[in-house]
Structure 1
Amino acid sequence: MAADASPSDITEFFQAASRHDVSLVTINRTHPEPVQELLADAFSMQSVDLVERSLPQNDDDIVALRKDGQVTAVSSLRELMRSFLLVNADRFKTGTKGFDSDVPDVLKGMDETLFDLRGYPASNKEKLLLILVSRHIERRAYEAGAGTLRSTFQRLSRLEDELGTKKVYERLAGRTVDVHVYGVPDGVPRGLDATVHTGTSDEYRNSWCVVFKPPDGSGAALIAHQQEPNRWRGFWTYDRETVARANRYLDRSF
């Protein structure tokens, strides 16, 4: 898709995802084998290879992200366990902490990678990746305190029913961020300091987008679409041009 092209639907953005050779490398693991199995299961359906190495010159229990043969991010295995491998996605619906805990660098660094992700019960972890990245982008907007955040929820009732999600957007209301929320009007949130957009088209019902465009500098965008019930295809990006296009698309097409 050309830089100035206007996509006809949200899935055209998937063409912007690069075809990197991506792998996660666990280095000097001391945690038990089930931890490695959890990591393998989380990415078993993805184009992400999992490698294990013993390197005497390195610290123990490290996870490195490698893109096209180059290490681009490093996180501790403990951090990955605490924020992803040992986490239940329901915590983000019922919890109140929202985006207080940031996402490990090796997960944030998987930008431009196209994923095909399943929710529970098909998978306990795959869909959680989209939830974590959503919170990461919302946190960026909160910390910036300015700019535009556009989020699609499929059903607007989620902003009332999911306490964790509700808390995030209540906190964002305390910042000077221009917040726009999109979804089927099955329960428009009360007292939310945001511009509410409603509709019933396929994109309203099946898009999962979180797009933050700051006043200057590069923002971030998660762009996903539900291909079939509880199965999502999507990616995230920090590319300035793609973020700007996604922001324009949501502004003009929804």
Structure 2
Amino acid sequence: MVADGQPTSLRDMFSEVSGGSLSLLTVNRTRPEQVQNLLADAFATGSVELSERSLPSDDDLLVLREDGEITAVSSLDRVMRSFLLVNGDQFTTSTRGFDEDVPAVLTGMDGTLFDLRGYPDSNKEKLLLVVISRHIERRAYEAGEGTLRATFQRLSRLEDESGTRQVYERLAGRPLDVHVYGVPDESPTWLDATVHAGTTHEYRRSWCVVYRPPTRGGVDDPGPGPAALVAHQRAPNRWRGFWTYDRERVERIHRYLVRSF
């Protein structure tokens, strides 16, 4: 850390993440065993333990626990439709995930550091970061105010990925202050946003989506709160990252992007 408490790199922020022990519990599962296997594959890196149980409650629930305490409950069907039975291509070719709520058992995993693999090493692990990115973008869209900053590694992704392009066209159509970052292999001149181009390691390896809501007279806006995802590509198809809704942490991440990108 530097003298003012700001990190010297995005990776420095990982040392601040000390979330508790997370576990997922399928309750009264009637879905086939393959569904349990998909969950196991999605969290194969060990950040989240998976088990199942029969309880006097509704069927086909997925329960998130932190340090043994229940923090979120979602229907297994919703998790299947929004995560387990989709792939990353559906997000890059359409606005999937932008117009629907993400199940609470997924959004509630904030403050946990994940090491995730991309395709073909894993079909599901990296998709978790994609789903949460859409969740934060939707949060900014619903607020309609504030600042959204997103790093894309390559700016051409805004051209090549039709789903991503459509999402950011919609975001830029709101009274939001939208900033996009990436290596300038192609500039999105069509986008009504501030474009930041660079070729440093962090431009090439970072994956950030940061929403900072407005404040009025020092009072937080009552709309959707702040959120940030920070991830770093450690190696081909290998990502380390987390997300947070903590106001102070989001503000530090926001200030870092303003200062260092």
TM-score higher than 0.5: yes
Q: Deviations over 1:61-117 (max 9, x none)?
A: 000000011100000000010000000110011114450122110000000000001
Tell me which amino acid in the other structure corresponds to 1:139: R
Structure 1 pair 97–123 and aligned structure 2 pair: CA distance change class (3 A): closer
2:242 matched to 1:243?
Answer: no
> Which AA in structure 2 matches 1:136?
H
| Residue number in structure 2 paired with 1:24 | 24
Cα 1:184/1:120, change in 2 over 3 Å: same
Q: Residue 203 of structure 1 aligns with which residue? A: 202
Q: Equivalent residue of 1:181, what SS?
A: strand
Deviations for 1:129-177, whole angstroms, at most 9, x for unmatched residues? 0000000000000000000000000000000100000000000111111
Secondary structure of 2:112's aligned partner: coil
Paired AA for residue 36 in structure 2? Q
Equivalent position SS for 2:18: coil
* 2:149 corresponding residue in structure 1: 150
| Pairwise CA distance, 1:2 | 9.4
Tell me: CA distance 1:88–1:146, structure 2 relative to 1, closer, same or farther (3 Å). Answer: same
Deviation at 1:190, TM superposition (A): 2.4
Instruction: Give runs of aligned pairs for residues 65-104 of structure 1, distance below 5 A.
Output: 65-97=64-96, 99-104=98-103
Between the aligned partners of 1:84 and 1:163, the Cα distance in structure 2 is 20
Q: SS of the residue aligned with 1:126?
A: coil
TM-score calculated relative to the size of structure 2: 0.94
What is the CA–CA distance in structure 2 between the aligned matches of 1:184 and 1:229, rounded to whole Å?
Answer: 17
Which residue is equivalent to 2:170? 171
Q: Name the counterpart of 1:8.
A: 8
Runs of 4 or more, structure 1, over 6 Å off, are: none
Sequence identity percentage: 69
Q: Which amino acid aligns with 2:22?
A: V
Change (3 A) 1:234 1:96: closer
Which letter maps to 2:18? S
Q: How much does 1:16 deviate?
A: 2.1
Corresponding position of 2:124: 125
User: Which runs of 5 or more residues in structure 2 are unaligned?
Assistant: 215-219
Give the RMSD, CA atoms, in angstroms.
1.4
Contact 2:90 2:96 in 1 (8 A): no
Q: CA deviation at 1:4?
A: 5.2
Question: Which of 232, 235, 244 is the matching residue for 2:239?
Answer: 232
CA distance 1:51–1:2, change in 2 (3 Å): farther
Conserved? CA contact 1:118–1:126, under 8 Å: yes
Q: TM-score with structure 1 length normalisation?
A: 0.97
Closer, same or farther: CA 2–46 of 1 in aligned 2, 3 Å: farther
Aligned residues: 253
Alpha-carbon contact 1:98-1:165 (below 8 Å) kept: no
Q: Distance in 1 between matches of 2:54 and 2:3?
A: 43
2:134 is the alignment partner of 1:135: yes
CA 1:73–1:4 in structure 2 vs 1: closer, same or farther (change >3 Å)? farther
Partner of 2:217: none
